[in-house]
Amino acid sequence: MEMMKSFKTGYVKKIFFGYTAIEQTVVNLGLLIIRVSAGLSMAFGHGIKKLPPSEGFINGVSKLGLPLPEFMAWAASLSEFAGGLLIVIGVATRPSAFFLCITMGVAAFIRHGGDPFGSMEKALLYFFIFLMLCFTGAGKYSADHQIHHYL
């Protein structure tokens, strides 16, 4: 019984179930970490390789049945590179995350739609990270936050 009382009033309760100003700082730090890591990975692990879009990438987009394959290839490449960098800085985070959700959704559900789960797993992980950022925004440690308070 004493152990349960300690749990109810102790640090374990705060860590797992609390939401105070301290936890808000931790949440914002978590958003910063996920933004920087996912944004840099997207920009330099994927987007920079596709700029400018190669003929092979444009043909691949065309085979997916998307209209205007050259435009769509540029849109995907720019959303991955520029969108990734904007997310790192925390500028226009929600619109950038939205376009990256579309790009990763196409990659996961159309490009790898008939493939085994392992082939679509990375695109799905990025999809859900960027979907989360669509809902949460960049957080306190971002240019978006500073701009919001300046305006």
Rounded to whole angstroms, how far apart are CA atoms 113 and 115? 6
Instruction: Say what the pLDDT of residue 57 is.
Output: 93
pLDDT at 130: 97
Domain boundaries, the chain: 37-150
Confidence band of 141 (pLDDT split at 50, 70, 90): very high
Q: What is the pLDDT of residue 148?
A: 85
| Three-class secondary structure assignment of 26-84 | HHHHHHHHHHHHHHHHHHHHHHHHHCCCCHHHHHHHHHCCCCCHHHHHHHHHHHHHHHH
Q: What is the pLDDT of residues 3-41, one digit of tens each?
A: 555 555 566 666 666 655 557 888 899 999 999 999 999
Least confident of 45-49, 113-117, 136-140: 113-117
Is the pLDDT assigned to residue 118 strictly greater than 90? no
CB 127 within 8 A of CB 105: yes
Residue 115: pLDDT band (50, 70, 90) is confident
Q: Give the pLDDT confidence score for residue 135 in this predicted structure.
A: 94
Is residue 62 very low, low, confident or very high in pLDDT (cuts 50, 70, 90)?
very high
Contact 143, 32 (CB under 8 A): no
Residue 150: predicted pLDDT: 81
Q: What percentage of the chain exceeds 70 in pLDDT?
A: 85
Give residue 67's identity as a one-letter amino acid code.
P
Mean pLDDT confidence for 69-78: 96
